[in-house]
Amino acid sequence: MLASHSIGERLIQFNGVAKVYNAADGKAVRAVDSVTAEIDRGEFIAILGPSGCGKSTLMMMLAGLLRPSEGSILFKDKLITGPQEDFGIVFQDAVLFPWRNVRENVELPGEVEGLSRNDRRTRAQKMIDLVGLSGFENKFPNELSGGMQQRVAIARALSLNPSLLLMDEPFGALDAMTREQMNLELQRISLESGATVVFVTHSIAEAAFLADRVFVMSGRPSTVREIVPIDIPRPRDIDLMASDKFGTYVAHLRDLLEVRGDAS
């Protein structure tokens, strides 16, 4: 579908993006279809849809890790043709190096970029403080809880000050209470860092709580069925979830997901 949006400075543009996979049985699977949308600098976008609807596929194309079969994705008006240095990525599993402590994990992108030791240290410490892990710099991943490991992954993804933070179900493996806590933390981190965030989730409440706009995906072949602006100022408090206004958004998002019986 076509969604026009023209507030602020455009950062990303999807133009008729589709992805067709060749499945093992030789059949073509159209996982994503006709996605046309724009994302502005500084926005927090949630991509919401049921499992298997193509959210990760869309994210991988945006990350430059998969090529669209049709259409194009532009970042700062340039075609994305491969992985971008300017992107930070966080997956469901923190994917930390077990033999490196927190500081060394967060410093890794700086090492790859060839930054000086001092510069790496300073940036890493700033991000460790930002994600609330000060005092844990010398701990190893196996000494941390799942929520803390994800904080390390977020700090690492932000360490080179990316223009875009891509998050694919980052809190999917956490228990409900830790997840709620991480949603609050992520909101704070995104507001403080000013990063543009694209956040994939199948949780309606998580999408409504975090996002400026929610891209609601339909079932396969998946497209953006509707873009729902969440007109609630940030920072948002967890008590908001009990409000009528929040309930109305959640009900609307659920209705959209249930149109074809593909609710999550």
**Residue window 7-46: x/- pattern of binding to ligand ADP, with contact defined by CB under 6 A:** --------------x-x-----x-x---------------
Q: Does 57 bind ligand ADP (CB under 6 A)?
A: yes
Size of the site for ligand ADP (CB under 6 A): 13
Cα–Cα distance measured from residue 250 to residue 228, given in angstroms and rounded to the nearest whole number: 11
In angstroms, the CA 53 to CA 229 distance is: 21
44: Cβ contacts below 8 Å, ≥ 6 apart? 190, 196, 197, 199, 210, 211, 212, 234
Rounded Cα–Cα distance for residues 132 and 189 (Å): 10
Selection from 235, 231, 224 nearest residue 249 by Cα: 231
By CB under 6 A, is residue 54 in contact with ligand ADP? Answer: yes
Task: Establish if 190 lies at the interface with ligand ADP (CB under 6 A).
Answer: no
Smallest separation, CB 170 to ligand ADP (Å) = 13
Residues 193-222 binding ligand ADP (CB under 6 A) are 220
The one segment of 35-43, 52-60, 115-123, 239-247 that binds ligand ADP by CB under 6 A = 52-60
Least Å distance between CB 73 and ligand ADP?
15
Single-letter amino acid, residue 78: K
CA distance 50 to 46: 13
**Cβ neighbours of residue 248 closer than 8 Å, sequence gap 6 or more:** none
Chosen residue from 55, 151, 213, 236 binding ligand ADP by CB under 6 A: 55
Q: Which parts of 67-86 interact with ligand ADP (CB under 6 A)?
A: none
Q: Which one, 90 or 144, has the nearer CB to ligand ADP?
A: 90
Outline where the chain has alpha helix (H): 55-62, 102-112, 117-130, 146-158, 176-193, 204-210, 244-258
Tell me which stretch binds ligand ADP (CB under 6 A): 38-46, 53-61, 177-185, 223-231. Answer: 53-61
Interacting residues with ligand ADP (CB under 6 A): 21, 23, 29, 31, 49, 51-57, 220
